[in-house]
Amino acid sequence: MLVAVVLTFPGVVPNVLLRLGSLTDTFLPWLGLLVPVLLGVALWRRSLLALVVVLLPAVAWVGAFGGLMRSGERADLVVVQHNVSDENADPAATARALMRPGPDLIGVEEVTPEALPAYEAAFAQRYPHHTVQGTVGLWSRHPLAEARLLDIKPGGLDADWRRGLRALARTPHGDVAVYVTHLPSLRPGPRGFDTRRRDDSARKLGAALAAEPVRRVVLIGDLNATLDDRGLRPVGDHVTGAATGFAFSWPAAAPVARIDQVMVRRGNVTAVRTLPRTGSDHLPIAARVRW
């Protein structure tokens, strides 16, 4: 019953003590693994009552995450998101991998000045329109306008911290405001799961989205948060994420959570999937958007 309650109402886990609430939100789908364990205990005890009670967390998990296993519809826009890693030894190969799904937009994070020429050369023919602001970049099939730095810097960091951009994509379906962002990482420490900088940056991003005058919006980024994480609520109030597909993207060697996101306003992300591993510690994701 406790597992069922947490799956249905994750907000009951307080975030004051060691940030356990955000930790629970991040790994919420994995609570489903407790269902077969509980089922095994019920069978071992030969308890009909226990078997019946195990249905509660099973139904709660299906209600919370069963929709993620639906197949997506056709797309008006295909978007690829990838934290390419500032330690990536082969940026050109990474760029080629990101182009394979034939996306309209490619958003990347952790682009270093040393690697930028390799990305520009690899993308140039198929994605002639691009902008790079700080360590985040956007490549597009469609013309870009109004490209600028987006200030989502949390308090306590210096001016060199530039991890957000906003641009206007002139697509066949009309103008789309495109945001590419990289929210601060979460750090374990003596106070637990430290999310303060990430949450501060998310609030600033949410304020920018609230003020965005263009009706259609695509947010691409390494948000260092799953869609269930309560710290992402200021963003989730203005854009919505994938309706289908788990697409765990981090860590690349053994993915346990999707902290790389594509979210939209005035549309739906109808499908999301991971792409093959590159030289990064994240997996790329490809999302299908339907207006």
d(CA 119, CA 138): 11
Q: Which two tokens stand for residue 176?
A: 């789309």
For residue 111, what are the contacts with CB-CB under 8 A and spacing of at least 6? 84, 86, 119, 132, 135, 136, 137
The count of domains in the chain is 2
How does pLDDT run across 140-167, given as a tens digit for each residue?
999 999 999 999 999 888 888 999 999 9
My answer on whether 104 and 168 are in the same domain is yes
Of 69, 102, 127, the residue that ends a domain is: 69
Confidence of residue 40 (pLDDT cuts 50, 70, 90): confident
d(CA 142, CA 77): 11
My answer on whether 109 and 201 are in the same domain is yes
Tell me the mean pLDDT in the region 219-233.
94
My answer on whether 50 and 93 are in the same domain is no
My answer on whether 120 and 245 are in the same domain is yes
Of 69, 97, 114, the residue that ends a domain is: 69
Quickly tell me which residue has 């109402």 as its tokens. Answer: 9
Question: 146 is in which domain, residue-wise?
Answer: 77-290
pLDDT at res. 64: 65
Q: Using DSSP, state whether 126 is helix, strand or coil.
A: coil
My answer on whether 34 and 122 are in the same domain is no
My answer on whether 121 and 154 are in the same domain is yes
d(CA 64, CA 5): 12
My answer on whether 64 and 84 are in the same domain is no
Which parts of the chain fold into alpha helices (H)?
2-8, 20-26, 34-45, 48-65, 91-99, 116-123, 196-211, 233-236
Of the listed ranges 16-25, 138-147, 272-281, the one predicted with least confidence: 16-25
My answer on whether 96 and 185 are in the same domain is yes
My answer on whether 204 and 280 are in the same domain is yes
My answer on whether 185 and 47 are in the same domain is no
Of 69, 93, 115, the residue that ends a domain is: 69
Tell me the mean pLDDT in the region 111-138.
98
Residues β-bridged to residue 145: 168
Q: What is the CA radius of gyration of the chain?
A: 20
My answer on whether 51 and 195 are in the same domain is no
My answer on whether 47 and 121 are in the same domain is no
